[in-house]
Structure 1
Amino acid sequence: MSAPEKPRLLVSFDQYLPYVSSEQTGALWKLAEERRQLDANLIRLPPDGGVAAHVEHALDVLLLVVAGDGQLDSDGEQLALAAGSVVWLPRSSRRALGAGAHGLVYLTVHTRRPGMSVVGTAASAVTVREGGEAPCSLDRVCPECGTMRAEPGAPFCAWCGERVSAAG
């Protein structure tokens, strides 16, 4: 049996961000601990950039604005976002993000998405896929995090913020 995990400082964003090029957008940092139950991503949207309207059906998401400003649009209502704002995005809510003139840097935290698992004995192992989309939709899968894009033409992944091909 392995030793239990101990709390530890992973990153200090006020010390980390000055070393990241201001030109870099998308996912700047990701929680990568092996046995975690959470996922977290630090995302930067460029000035006046955004994440297209989408619905996350499976997970609640907590969003913390680290730097910059912008707005959250949810079913026609706009919430102003500024450094220090904490927003709860309940599952099944429609949301879109827009960055202000100086861009928007935010942290998302949510439960870890289930992946693939192998069940049974070595002789009868079966791969079980939890969820997923039809193969014809593979052009909408974000190459960075594997999440299905809500809209085929969205320039950024709504989940991790990474720039994706507009060809989808």
Structure 2
Amino acid sequence: MAGHEDGSPAPAPGAPLPRVLCDTTGLLALGDDAAAGALWRLAEPGRQLDANVVRVPAAGRVGTHTEPDLDVLLLVLDGGASLVCSDGDLPLRPGVLTWLPHGSARGVVAGPDGVTYLTVHRRRPGMRVQPSGAADRLRPGGA
């Protein structure tokens, strides 16, 4: 098995190859004509990550929620927003990379031009069997 110049082993035959998946400048060129929601999703088979490019229109919002299982990286590509956190709002502008740790409460409120951002996180775990009554926490006033 041949290796690389740095001494690391060569990839196994049939190993996946790095490749360009999306040119976000094309997505950003859609501007205000872009539909709200996910403009692009990572969908390669066998991946360990999930990633999305999301557009929230002017004054739109992603409601405050808590992600119990996954840390998320959020990178603003275009526009601006406020990240709503339990300790106050944080301004988001193009180029700002934000860590959203699992267990933290967060929401996004788009600014007057809307916001487009990339999120990256571990691939979501499969469905889990929950103890009876676990769904009660999802209802208003739930624990």
Q: TM-score, normalised by structure 1?
A: 0.67
Letter in 1 for 2:122: T
Q: Secondary structure at the match of 1:108?
A: strand
Are residues 1:113 and 2:124 paired?
Answer: yes
Work out which of the residue numbers 118, 128, 131 in structure 2 matches 1:130.
128
Identity %: 42
Q: Which has the larger radius of gyration?
A: 2
Conservation of the 8 A alpha-carbon contact between 1:69 and 1:104? yes
CA distance in 2, matches of 1:151, 1:93: 19
**Structure 2 matches for 1:1-168, cutoff 5 A?**
3-19=14-30, 22-115=33-126, 129-131=127-129
CA distance in 2, matches of 1:20, 1:35: 32
What RMSD over aligned residues (CA atoms) do the two structures have, in Å?
2.6
CA distance in 2, matches of 1:84, 1:101: 18
Q: Secondary structure at the match of 1:32?
A: coil
Q: Kindly tell me: are residues 132 and 51 of structure 1, through their superposed partners in 2, closer, same or farther at Cα, counting changes over 3 Å?
A: farther
Alpha-carbon shift at residue 16 of structure 1 (Å): 3.2
**Residue-by-residue CA offset, 1:18-51 (whole Å, 9 max, x unaligned):** 2476241001100010010000011100101111
Alpha-carbon shift at residue 69 of structure 1 (Å): 0.2
CA distance in 1, matches of 2:42, 2:125: 15
CA distance in 1, matches of 2:102, 2:40: 23
Provide structure 2 residue ranges, at least 5 long, that are not aligned to the other structure: 1-11
Provide structure 1 residue ranges, at least 5 long, that are not aligned to the other structure: 116-128, 138-149, 153-168
* Deviation beyond 4 Å, 4+ runs, structure 1: 131-134
**Residue-by-residue CA offset, 1:94-144 (whole Å, 9 max, x unaligned):** 1111100000101110000122xxxxxxxxxxxxx525697xx6xxxxxxx
How many matched pairs? Answer: 127
